[in-house]
Amino acid sequence: QVQFVESGGGLVQAGGSLRLSCAASESIFGIGVMIWYRQAPGKQREWVASIVNSKTNYADSVKGRFTISRDNALNTLYLQMNSLKPEDTAVYYCNKVPAHAWGQGTQVIVSA
């Protein structure tokens, strides 16, 4: 089955940018919906962004700052994060619809 490996996280100053990647172990061409989630300490996992074909949707908290995209040729999902805020600090995960097993995620820490 397809496996996802998230990467690109790190420590960044408020206002900075990060580009997260989600590499799939096999083709994602046939996966219609892919999603980025995040989970902050003490909080439940929350939906961040999704991409359905070329249509994208975002949580209100990140709208206008984050951009989700996919490259089927590279079997990779991306999340470009700009104007980062301390509230964005979390472990970020990718998945699909229907949901598959969760990967390890990638840690994003935004300092003031």
51-64 tens-digit pLDDT: 998 899 999 999 99
pLDDT at 30 over 90: no
End-to-end Cα, the chain, rounded Å: 40
- Of 48, 33, 53, whose CA–CA distance to 92 is shortest? 48
Q: What is the pLDDT of residue 3?
A: 92
Interstrand relation of 106-111 and 10-13 (parallel, antiparallel or unpaired): parallel
Q: What is the pLDDT of residue 29?
A: 83
Q: What is the pLDDT of residue 2?
A: 87
Q: What is the pLDDT of residue 1?
A: 82
- Of 75, 72, 63, 67, whose CA–CA distance to 23 is shortest? 75
Tens digits of per-residue pLDDT, 47-102? Answer: 999 999 889 999 999 999 999 999 999 999 999 999 999 999 999 999 999 888 89
**CA–CA distances in Å: residue 40 to residues 14, 27, 106, 107:** 16, 30, 12, 10
